[in-house]
Amino acid sequence: MSYIKRVYLLILFLVALSLHAQENFTSYLQPQVAINYKVSSFYTHNFSLENRNYTIESGESRFRVRHLHLAHFSNLKIKDNQSIALGIQYRFRQAFDDGSNELRLTQQYNLTKQALVTRFGHRLRTEQRITKNLTTHRFRYRFSMDFPLRGERLDVGEPYLVGNWESLLSVAKTKLPEYDQRFTLNLGWLLTKKTKFQVGAEYRFEDFTHQTQHVLFLLTTFNISL
């Protein structure tokens, strides 16, 4: 229980930090449902549906839908601890806040290592974000770690913790390069052998070399494995 309290305290700290950003601060509520389908021991599919909603926009409290998106990833294991993946995502935004709809293509490499009860992960991604008027290329590196909060392995009904640190570079012809930094912390529970539920927060420093924007995401994720 002490671990759960610490996660909540950290989330409250992120909220308090965000309040100092005022006009350059945005907050979202972002629920997601993900389904993992195992085709074979080395090949899997992942499907997800995500909804992003404003809770604070430009320092003012409000609630409205920003976008809805559907995504699919095909993952191929190339070694016991390494995999590559291709992803496609379509973001429906125009119907909600007059922003452009987006097609996103993703290429990914993932490496994991186990040390005692903690698993470490390194993920490299390249992306092409295609909208009506612009194509943006993004380059991403994420370091992550996760571990059970009780005992040496994760059993049904028990909690676990997942933390991520990610750096991101966005480049496009008509815009200056943009650098982002992201920190994510999720508290999860293994509900059954095939279902997990996570709740957490992500804090982003966007375009921090020019005009920093502070963005806070309140996250919920329900994962199903078939």
88, two tokens: 């496609």
Indicate whether 152 pLDDT > 90.
no
Listed residue (206, 187, 211, 212) closest to 197, CA to CA:
187
Task: Identify the band that residue 18 occupies on the pLDDT scale cut at 50, 70 and 90.
Answer: low
Average pLDDT over residues 11-26: 62
Q: Quickly name the fold that domain 2-225 has.
A: Porin (2.40.160)
Indicate whether 2 pLDDT > 60.
no
Mean pLDDT over all residues of the chain? 90
Task: Write the pLDDT tens digit of every residue in 43-62.
Answer: 999 999 999 999 888 777 88
Instruction: Identify which has the larger pLDDT, 14 or 200.
Output: 200
Average pLDDT over residues 181-186: 94
95, two tokens: 């119907």
Residue owning tokens 């930094």: 181
DSSP structure string for 139-164: EEEEEEEEEESSSSS--TT-EEEEEE
Average pLDDT over residues 51-76: 91
Task: Identify the band that residue 99 occupies on the pLDDT scale cut at 50, 70 and 90.
Answer: confident
Q: Indicate the pTM of the whole model.
A: 0.89
Chain-centroid distance, C-alpha 134: 23
Chain-centroid distance, C-alpha 159: 19
Contact 67, 52 (CB under 8 A): yes
**pLDDT for 10:** 59
Contact 159, 149 (CB under 8 A): yes
Contact 207, 24 (CB under 8 A): no
26, two tokens: 């945005």
Domains of the chain, by residue range, sit at 2-225
Task: Identify the band that residue 183 occupies on the pLDDT scale cut at 50, 70 and 90.
Answer: very high
**pLDDT for 209:** 83
**pLDDT for 21:** 52
**pLDDT for 190:** 96
Q: How far apart are CA 5 and CA 151, in angstroms?
A: 18
Indicate whether 174 pLDDT > 60.
yes
Contact 100, 67 (CB under 8 A): no
Q: Which residues pair with 78 in a beta bridge?
A: none
Rg (CA), the chain: 18
